[in-house]
């Protein structure tokens, strides 16, 4: 599955949960020109660009290439699939504290999208995918919905979003089908389900 296909599928899931019905899901970078968005939604004549990113429980300010936790989980998943045992299973864990890694992920996307003019879209949204439903991904991207506190999101990540090009942001917990959303006009997080 290509990067665009994975991102488009995550956006489709978001739209399905929220009851949005775009007329099209397009690749805004199909002409090899970086637009600042990963998926383009069309709502009639209105074009919405989505920046799509994966949450990883071990991300933080220390520079490195990729998530070590995700790489380890993928390695365990591959080993389980290759094992002769008929039961294909592996175990993995992720730290419970989500605000630090989530703040890092949002800060990274805010900085990256600031480099683009945003004129390709009428509006820009941010989609952060957690609890990714995939072999070798669900544990390292885990956020327990019971631990999410809207006050923490308002205090720690809303200030970054308020100063960004994003008019909306969504935290999608794929396995639970739960969406937390932020709107620039309201400047607060809420549960969208």
Q: Look at the block and give the residue holding tokens 């991300």.
A: 59
In tens, the pLDDT along 12-52 reads 999 999 999 999 999 998 876 677 899 999 999 999 999 99
pLDDT of residue 69: 63
Please tell me whether residue 48 adopts helix, strand or coil conformation.
Answer: strand
Q: How far apart are CA 157 and CA 145, in angstroms?
A: 17
pTM of the model: 0.86
Contact assessment for residue 160 and residue 107, using Cβ atoms and an 8 Å cutoff: yes
- DSSP one-letter string for 59-118: --SS--SS-HHHHHHHHHHHHHHHSSSSS--------S--HHHHHHHHHHHHHHHTTS--
pLDDT of residue 168: 97
In tens, the pLDDT along 149-190 reads 999 999 999 999 999 999 999 999 999 999 999 999 999 999
Contact assessment for residue 135 and residue 1, using Cβ atoms and an 8 Å cutoff: no
Mean pLDDT on 75-104: 73
Which contiguous run of DSSP H or E holds residue 145?
none
Q: State the chain's maximal CA–CA distance in angstroms.
A: 55
Domain carrying residue 49:
3-191
pLDDT of residue 65: 62
Number of domains in the chain: 1
């Amino acid at each position: 599955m290509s990067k665009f296909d994975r991102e488009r599928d995550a956006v489709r899931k978001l739209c399905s949960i929220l009851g949005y019905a775009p007329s099209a899901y397009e690749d805004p970078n199909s002409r090899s020109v970086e637009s600042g968005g990963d998926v383009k939604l069309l709502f009639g004549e209105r074009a919405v660009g989505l920046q799509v990113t994966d949450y990883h429980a071990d991300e933080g300010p220390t520079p490195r290439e990729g998530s070590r936790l995700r790489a380890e989980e993928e390695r365990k998943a591959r080993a389980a699939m290759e094992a002769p045992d008929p039961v294909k299973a592996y175990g993995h864990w992720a730290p419970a504290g989500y605000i630090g890694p989530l703040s890092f992920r949002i800060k990274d996307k805010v900085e990256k999208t600031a480099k683009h003019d945003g004129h390709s879209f009428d509006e820009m949204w941010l989609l952060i995918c957690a609890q990714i439903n995939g072999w070798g991904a669900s544990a390292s991207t885990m956020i327990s919905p019971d631990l999410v506190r809207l006050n923490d999101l308002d205090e720690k990540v809303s200030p970054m979003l308020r100063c960004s090009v994003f008019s909306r942001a969504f935290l999608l917990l794929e396995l639970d089908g739960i969406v937390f959303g932020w709107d620039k006009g309201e400047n607060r997080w809420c549960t969208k389900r």
